Amino acid sequence: MTAATPDEDKPISITGNLSASEAAQLLTRLDKGARAAWQSTHEVLWLSPDYEARFQAANEVDGVFHHVLRETPESGMRRPGETVEGFARRAGSAAKLADARQAGAGAAAQLITRQADAGMDAAATGRTQGDIATGLLADADTEEVQAFAQEFGDTTGVLGRDLRDLERERDHDRGMAPGTPHPDPFLAERGWHVCSHGLYTRRTGPERQAPPEPELEAG
């Protein structure tokens, strides 16, 4: 006889790759399916051919249901003693909140990207997004809307800081920080520098004059 491998000794996991919401949905369907299968078994004569077939089917569905029923608390998805209905409600609510947070983060990222592509500077983008987030939170009247607004605001803060850092790095790499003198010494001597818009401009005021050349003494 061939010895069983370690993988063959491991119990089969039905919900191992499922989220809590998906496991709750599966458990709910299995519960309903097992009840319906047993009800179908009781509708025919005992020990008749139809009874045997229906009993076998009901027993198989019921076995899978109880397997998942035991597995979900072991994996931490379902709380010990929690009913199938309670698990489904809790997992469904958590899934809705997760979807709302994901939608809030996506909306913030999309709006910041559009504003940046349109040429809006990072400071203005941050103020606009901050105002939107504040308004969303003020009007939030459900947990889902609150989750959306909170994630929108959090994502705005993170992406806004990233955008400002990128602008500073870009300006530093290009030598374009405001006040940076023109790289041409002749122009820099005459007041040409980088303004706040990233362009070279000349300071207003009199030009600096070159010192007079020394006079040669008569021989």
Would 4 be classed as within a structural domain?
A: no
Determine the Cα–Cα distance for residues 118 and 112; give it in Å rounded to an integer: 10
At 28 the pLDDT is 96
Would 144 be classed as within a structural domain?
A: yes
My answer on whether 50 and 101 are in the same domain is no
22-36, 52-66, 161-175, 199-213: which range is least confident on average?
A: 199-213
Would 108 be classed as within a structural domain?
A: yes
Would 5 be classed as within a structural domain?
A: no
My answer on whether 135 and 191 are in the same domain is no
43-57, 82-96, 186-200, 205-219: which range is least confident on average?
A: 205-219
Show which of 82, 105, 129 is a domain's final residue. 82
When pLDDT is averaged across residues 38-57 and rounded to a whole number, the result is 92
pLDDT tens, 119-136?
776 666 666 777 777 777
Determine the Cα–Cα distance for residues 91 and 99; give it in Å rounded to an integer: 12
At 78 the pLDDT is 95
My answer on whether 107 and 161 are in the same domain is yes
Cα separations (Å) of 62 from 10, 38, 66, 137, 199? Answer: 21, 9, 6, 46, 75
Residue 186 scores a pLDDT above 50 = yes
Q: How confident is the model at residue 202 (pLDDT cuts 50, 70, 90)?
A: low
My answer on whether 77 and 145 are in the same domain is no
Give percent above pLDDT 90 in the chain.
Answer: 38
50-59, 68-77, 95-104, 124-133: which range is least confident on average?
A: 124-133
At 207 the pLDDT is 44
My answer on whether 169 and 194 are in the same domain is no
Query: Taking the CA atoms of the chain, what radius of gyration do you get in angstroms?
Result: 35
At 218 the pLDDT is 52
My answer on whether 162 and 199 are in the same domain is no
Number of domains in the chain: 3
Domain coverage including residue 103:
96-174
Show which of 82, 104, 122 is a domain's final residue. 82
Determine the Cα–Cα distance for residues 188 and 166; give it in Å rounded to an integer: 27
Q: What pTM, to 2 d.p., does this model score? A: 0.57
Would 165 be classed as within a structural domain?
A: yes
When pLDDT is averaged across residues 3-17 and rounded to a whole number, the result is 67
When pLDDT is averaged across residues 57-69 and rounded to a whole number, the result is 95
At 100 the pLDDT is 92
My answer on whether 100 and 159 are in the same domain is yes
My answer on whether 165 and 111 are in the same domain is yes
Determine the Cα–Cα distance for residues 21 and 85; give it in Å rounded to an integer: 12
My answer on whether 133 and 168 are in the same domain is yes
pLDDT tens, 154-181?
887 777 777 677 666 665 545 566 777 7
95 Cβ contact list (under 8 Å, min separation 6): 19, 20, 21
My answer on whether 101 and 168 are in the same domain is yes
pLDDT tens, 12-41?
899 999 999 999 999 999 999 999 999 999
My answer on whether 109 and 165 are in the same domain is yes
My answer on whether 169 and 182 are in the same domain is no
Would 211 be classed as within a structural domain?
A: no
When pLDDT is averaged across residues 62-87 and rounded to a whole number, the result is 94
Would 192 be classed as within a structural domain?
A: yes
Show which of 60, 82, 104 is a domain's final residue. 82
Would 38 be classed as within a structural domain?
A: yes
